[in-house]
Amino acid sequence: MAYQLYRNTTLGNSLQESLDELIQTQQITPQLALQVLLQFDKAINTALANRVRNRVNFRGSLNTYRFCDNVWTFVLNDVEFREVTDLVKVDKVKIVACDGKRHTEYK
């Protein structure tokens, strides 16, 4: 049971929309869609943990922070995301972060 954190990403949302379409056209059951999403959770978590090597730095000013249920939520303003190759600037970014090393599962 991995974090379901990544379901609300571009990739995760596309998957959920596709699964909803298949359910509408009766090609799969909702139970199967749920299993697909659980498998997606496992896959994305292990992929990010093991197959991602690049590093991005970011710097901005902290607007708000929250820590509840072991989940950090930050809102930063005027942020610069810096990778070796390029630089991206944004006015506002919301960061939701779960613990990398965890003892119990959280949804």
Partner 1 sequence: MDQNNSIPAFQGLASPQGAMTPGVPIFSPMMPYGSGLTPQPVQNTNSLSILEEQQRQQQQQQAQQANAGLPGTSGQTPQLYHSQTVAGSTTTALPGNTPLYNTPLTPMTPITPATPASESSGIVPQLQNIVSTVNLGCKLDLKTIALRARNAEYNPKRFAAVIMRIREPRTTALIFSSGKMVCTGAKSEEQSRLAARKYARVVQKLGFPAKFLDFKIQNMVGSCDVKFPIRLEGLVLTHQQFSSYEPELFPGLIYRMIKPRIVLLIFVSGKVVLTGAKVRAEIYEAFENIYPILKGFRKTT
- Residues lying near partner 1 in the complex (CB under 8 A) are found at 64-68, 70
Residue 81 or 106: the one with the smaller Cβ distance to partner 1 is: 106
CB of 68 to partner 1, least distance (A): 4
Q: Which two tokens stand for residue 67?
A: 């820590």
Residues 85 and 34: their CA atoms lie apart, in Å, by 38
- DSSP-derived 3-state class of residue 62: strand
Identify the CA nearest to 6 among candidates 59, 46, 53, 66: 46
CB of 92 to partner 1, least distance (A): 14
CB of 72 to partner 1, least distance (A): 9
Residue 27 or 65: the one with the smaller Cβ distance to partner 1 is: 65
Run of H or E residues at 20? helix 10-24
Residue 20 or 65: the one with the smaller Cβ distance to partner 1 is: 65
